[in-house]
Amino acid sequence: MRIAIASGKGGTGKTLVATNIFYILSERGEKVTLVDCDAEEPNSKAFFNTKEISESQVIQKVPVIDSDICTFCGKCVDYCSYNAIFLLHDRRIVRVMEDLCHGCGACLVACKMGAISEKEVSLGTVSKYSVNSESTIIEGKMRVGAYTPVPVIKASIKKSNNSEIVILDSPPGTSCPFIHTVSSADYILLVTEPTPFGLNDLKLSVEIVRDMRKPFSVIINRAGLGDRGVYNWLETEKIPVSMELPFNRDLAAIYSKGEIVSAVRPDVKNKFEMLTDSVLTIWK
Amino acid sequence: MEIAVISGKGGTGKSSITAALATLAKSAVLADCDVDAANMHLIMNPDIRESFVYIAGEKAVIDYAKCRSCGLCQDYCRFDAIRFGEGKYEIDEVSCDGCKLCSRICPAGAITMHKNDKSRMHTGIYRYGHMVFGRLEPGEENSGKLVAMVRSKAREMSEKSGINTILIDSPPGIGCAVISSVTGVDRIFIVTEPSLSAFSDLKRTIELIDLLGTRMSVIINKYDLAPHVSDIIEEYCREKGVEISGKLPFDEEFVHSMVQCKSIIETKPDSEAGIVLSEIWKKLLNEKIRKQISTIN
Ligand code: SF4
Ligand code: SF4
């Protein structure tokens, strides 16, 4: 089973939920993998004692244009949908702007002179860490300045294929990185907070997961802060709330120190135990 | 003067702080560049004047009346966006990057490109001036370009209205949208909070801004939730030569004011957070004056 923990807005407690569910399952000795799909800012791993097992590069191809063969006809420029090739016909200048290139290969097809070959560049890394004999963490990390985290996210998710239970810590937002993550999940937990910002973002993410026809429920973090807007909306939309975590300074401080809240606070652990069980029974 | 407020991690209170700075500026063009999850309009409640369509790339569509199921498109697509299922080749909209290659090579001419035209940019008037914000349709990429469009609209509004201060609420992360929101600005505030995860994001953010060479300083929000982590962050910034503009305590008033569609400067200017923010703004004005004097000399 693949469970994605997501939220439209960043900082709602997505990683808190993902790491605690993972903690509980790995304590039970389940074969479980946590995939940190927030490849721009991965930080799930820091909550655990881990040992690195492997690291691999996520590769993209970019064209290399041989200016001795190139006739400066400009066909590659026409074919490139990302404005990644700069060409001045009269001055016989051609340059590939690697940061804009998506590696689609269209220029290669366009060039009839055989002036274009390709080389590989790194978009980031996928690392695998073990927590105990059964549980692993997979972390995708985008290279600073790469044009998109999506290939790194895809590669990270792919690596988790042989695990029985996979927990996906989704990237924030509702654009491609988020969609790629949740579209590979069987069940989605949307984390929100009871504020106008939280409600606004929740509505957007609900719209998407409904479009995808994925089963989902909502977790309200920092309950007690803010207003009733989120609750009222969830009620009219008949969306189930699977857990509420109250706001309190103590929890915030534990989390800040990079500790797993469930490991320190039995009452919170109890909540996460119940949450984990309820999600797993939905699946069975 | 263009000022960007950025935070590697989401949820640090960046938008609430931007709203407070807009209040302190008394007159500012607000550019909400967090096009994935724009929310400044919830606090500022602008009167929408104009809306623009933003084309966020294209997606391939197969015309089955023409398709001969040769599968060539699948061989060429590098984004794994074409799959064979239920007796026909299908395009997976989520994976399609819109490169057009399949439409160019299809021997039957069965593939055409359709524009993603659901994203919008809105402009409006709010209580301290003009604001512009983008709304990227879920799943559409190229947010960097929409951010660029929001910024150029903000500059245009600034010129027309004579309001010189442009405040930019940047998106989270370190990707192209963030870069697009901060390139060429005069000043960057990085909002962070004392948690180890926010700290690791902060390091990546500083690394990124260092590449750009823009003047930056850090605001630590909710410092009292984990004072010793806050100390670690301060120590790190000192080593890196990055100034700390101020430290704000955790204050529920931020949430209360958001619920009332207000900034904390409007509801509780005398709170500790309110006072620190006012000082940050004053310091910024001094920087600006010093800069003007040095250019005159
Ligand atoms: S591989 Fe695609 S994106 Fe890169 S330069 Fe060639 S046509 Fe442009
Ligand atoms: S447009 Fe490009 S990415 Fe989309 S299906 Fe065609 S070849 Fe693949």
Nearest CA in chain A to B193: A256
CA distance B99 to chain A (A): 6
Burial B185-208 (b: 16+ CB within 10 A, else e): bebbbbbbbbbbbbbbbbebbbeb
User: Within the 53-92 window of chain B, which residues sit less than 8 Å (CB to CB) from chain A?
Assistant: 58, 76, 78-79
Instruction: Write down the domain spans for chain A.
Output: 2-58+123-283, 67-114
Q: At what angle do helices A14-27 and A266-283 cross, to 10 degrees?
A: 80
pLDDT for A64-122, tens place per residue?
A: 999 999 999 999 999 999 889 999 888 899 999 888 899 999 999 999 999 999 999 99
Indicate the Cα dihedral angle A138, A140, A141, A145, nearest 10°. Answer: 180
Q: What is the pTM of this model?
A: 0.85
Question: Which residue, B241, B237, B239, B240, is CA-closest to B220?
Answer: B237
| Interface touch A196/B258, C-beta < 8 Å | yes
pLDDT digits (tens, 9 = 90+) for B185-227: 999 999 999 988 889 889 989 988 988 889 999 999 999 988 9
pLDDT at B292 over 70: yes
- Give the type of residue at B259: V
Rg, C-alpha atoms of chain B: 23
CATH topology of domain A2-58+123-283: Rossmann fold (3.40.50)
**CA of B119: which chain A residue's CA is closest?**
A175
At the topology level, CATH places domain B2-55+120-296 in Rossmann fold (3.40.50)
> Residue A239 gets which letter from DSSP?
P
Cα A161 to Cα A34, A39, B239, distances in angstroms: 12, 18, 42
pLDDT tens, residue by residue, A199-239: 988 998 998 899 889 999 999 999 988 889 999 999 999 99
Q: Could you say which of A10, A225, A257 has the minimum Cβ distance to residue B252? A: A225
3-state secondary structure of A273: helix
**Residue B85 phi, psi (nearest 5):** -150, 145
CA of B80 to the centre of ligand 2 (A): 8
Domain boundaries, given as residue ranges, for chain B:
2-55+120-296, 58-115
Dihedral, B288, B275, B200, A254 alpha carbons, nearest 10:
180
What average pLDDT does the segment B119-148 reach? 86
A37 in Cβ contact with A184 (< 8 Å): no
User: Which ligand 2 atom sits closest to the C-alpha of A104?
Assistant: 2
Q: Give B143's contacts in chain A (Cβ within 8 Å).
A: 175
The pLDDT > 70 percentage for chain A reads: 100
CA of B33 to the centre of ligand 2 (A): 28
Range A262-275 average pLDDT? 94
Distance CA A277, CA A275 (A): 5
Per-residue model confidence as pLDDT tens digits over A181-198: 998 899 999 999 998 889
Q: For ligand 2, pick from B90, B94, B97, B112 the residue to mutate: most ligand atoms within 8 Å of CB.
A: B97
Over residues B16-34, the mean pLDDT reads 94
Q: What mean pLDDT comes out for the span A112-138?
A: 94
Give the C-alpha separation, B267 to B283, whole Å.
22
Ligand 1 lined by A241 (C-beta under 6 Å)? no
Q: What is the DSSP letter of B175?
A: S
Query: Hey, which CATH number is domain A67-114, 3.40.50.1370, 3.40.50.880, 1.10.3720.10, 3.30.70.20?
Result: 3.30.70.20
Which atom of ligand 2 is the closest one to the Cα of B103? Answer: 6
The closest CB to that of A109, out of B98, B105, B140, belongs to B105
Q: Cα(B103)–Cα(B98) distance, rounded to whole angstroms?
A: 10
- Cβ–Cβ < 8 Å for B165, B29: yes
Distance B29 CA to ligand 2 centre (A): 39
Q: Is the CB of B82 under 6 A from ligand 2?
A: yes
Q: Is the pLDDT of residue B293 over 80?
A: no
Pocket of ligand 1 contains residue A185 by CB under 6 Å = no
Name the CATH architecture for the domain at B58-115: 2-Layer Sandwich (3.30)
* Cβ <8 Å between B101 and A109: yes
Please, are residues A188 and A216 in contact by the beta-carbon 8 Å criterion? yes
> What's the pLDDT tens digit per position in B53-68?
988 889 999 999 999 9
Q: What is the reported pLDDT for B297? A: 62
> CA-to-CA distance for A43 and A190, rounded, in angstroms?
19
How far apart are the C-alpha atoms of B156 and B163, rounded to whole Å?
10
Q: Give the amino acid at A41.
A: E
Element (H, E) at B88: strand B88-91
Question: B234 vs chain A: nearest CA distance in angstroms?
Answer: 15
Percent of chain A past pLDDT 90, that is, above it, reads: 66
Mean pLDDT taken over chain B: 90
The average pLDDT across A255-265 equals: 89
> Which of B62, B67, B72, B91 has most ligand 2 atoms within 8 Å of CB, for mutation?
B91
Token pair for B245: 């503009």
Confidence of residue B278 (pLDDT cuts 50, 70, 90): very high
Of the candidates A215, A229, A65, A50, the residue with the CA atom closest to the CA atom of residue A138: A50
Mind telling me how many Å the CA of A220 is from chain B's nearest CA? 15
Q: What are the tens digits of pLDDT across the range B279-288?
A: 999 999 888 7
Cβ separation B100–A197 shorter than 8 A? no
Q: Quick one: average pLDDT of B27-31?
A: 95
For A101, A184, A263, B96, the CA distances from B83, given in Å and listed in that order, are 24, 16, 44, 11
- Which of B10, B138, B196 minimises the CB distance to A204? B138
Q: Would the CB atoms of A172 and B10 count as touching at under 8 Å?
A: yes
A211-222: pLDDT as tens digits? 889 999 999 999
Calculate the CA B287 to chain-centre distance.
24
User: Which of B255, B256, B257 best tests the A interface by mutation, with the highest count of A CBs <10 A?
Assistant: B255
Q: What is the pLDDT of residue B259?
A: 84
Exposed/middle/buried for B90, CB within 10 Å: 0-12, 13-18, 19+?
middle
Distance A121 CA to ligand 1 centre (A): 13
Residue B169, phi then psi, degrees to nearest 5: -95, 110
Strand partners, B246: B219
Angle in degrees, 0-180, between the axes of helices B196-212 and B227-240, rounded to the nearest 10: 20
Ligand 2 center from residue A35 Cα (angstroms): 27
Task: Read off the pLDDT band of B116 (50, 70, 90).
Answer: confident
Verify whether ligand 1 is closer than 6 Å to residue A107 (CB atom). Answer: yes
- Predicted pLDDT at B192: 94
Q: What is the mean pLDDT of residues A250-260?
A: 85
Report chain A residues whose CB lies below 8 A from the CB of B11: 9-12
Ligand approaching nearest to the C-alpha of B96: 2
Complex ipTM, two decimals?
0.82
* Mean pLDDT of all residues belonging to chain A: 91
- What is each CA distance from B187 to B182, B190, B217, in whole angstroms? 9, 10, 8
pLDDT value for B62:
97
Residue of A nearest to B41 (CA): A197
Q: Is the pLDDT of residue B30 over 80?
A: yes
User: Cβ A41–B97 below 8 Å, yes or no?
Assistant: no
- A138 Cβ inside 6 Å of ligand 1: no
Give the per-residue pLDDT at A216. 95
Q: Is the CB of A115 under 6 A from ligand 1?
A: no
